[in-house]
Structure 1
Amino acid sequence: MDTSHLKPTDALAIERTRLANERTFLAYFRTFIVFLSSGFAILKIEVLQEIREVGYFLILLSPVLLIIGLVRFLYVKRQVRKYYYPPELTGKK
């Protein structure tokens, strides 16, 4: 994207925001993976049969976390593109 119309400090701030957004999505994704694998582990290990409900809860919660992370990532990405790269400056409609 064309950042020639921005001051160098503004362009760097936008880049930091974009990278922070990616890091936040990766944190949601890591949490999704941990919850999903922990849920399956609880269900598979016989010693942990008394907390089977926790395993089901973690398996059901993990896709919710992934969806929240993905929606948040796309929302912030769209907002950064909308406010810092307006169409009239980038030549796009």
Structure 2
Amino acid sequence: MTNEPHAPDAPQDRRNELALLRTDLANERTLLAYGRTALMMAGTGGTLIKFFGDSPDMLVLGIVLLILGGVMFVTGIARFNIKRKQISGRA
């Protein structure tokens, strides 16, 4: 047993620190999920354009998927930065 005045709060402080760490890691996993989805959309769009570009429908679908992949990537980065600021208490 210690006679430190803040000893009972130490486990709670550690719990809060670990909760913030878990939240930060979850935010990073979400960013990776956005990136994976964006890469899949852009890759599918590129494949459609490359192999089925003679069909106007497939060409349009490929271009749309390429654009949506880029939008998804930018959205993921923006969301990550907003959430990171909220987690750190700067928002």
**Larger Rg belongs to:** 2
Query: Map of 1:73-84 to 2, 5 A cutoff?
Result: 73-82=80-89
Query: Percent identity between the aligned chains?
Result: 32
- Worse-matched range after superposition: 61-70 or 17-26: 61-70
**Count of residues paired in the alignment:** 79
Question: Any stretches of 5+ residues in structure 1 without a counterpart?
Answer: 84-93
- Alignment of 1:66 onto 2:73: yes
Question: Any stretches of 5+ residues in structure 2 without a counterpart?
Answer: 1-9
What is the TM-score when the length of structure 1 is the normalising length? 0.76
What is the TM-score when the length of structure 2 is the normalising length? 0.77
Distance 1:28 1:19 in 2: 14
Q: What's the CA shift for 1:52? A: 1.9
Secondary structure in structure 2 of the residue aligned to 1:7: helix
Q: CA RMSD in A?
A: 2.0
Distance 1:80 1:67 in 2: 20
Q: What's the CA shift for 1:46? A: 3.5
Q: Encode CA deviations 1:38-62: one digit per residue, 9 max, x unaligned.
A: 1010001148734221111101111
Q: What's the CA shift for 1:27? A: 0.3
**Alignment correspondent of 1:91:** none
Q: What's the CA shift for 1:8? A: 1.3
Which has the higher relative contact order, 1 or 2, with Cα contacts under 8 A spaced 6 or more apart?
1
Q: Encode CA deviations 1:50-80: one digit per residue, 9 max, x unaligned.
A: 4221111101111110111001000111111
**Alignment correspondent of 2:21:** 15
Distance 2:53 2:63 in 1: 16
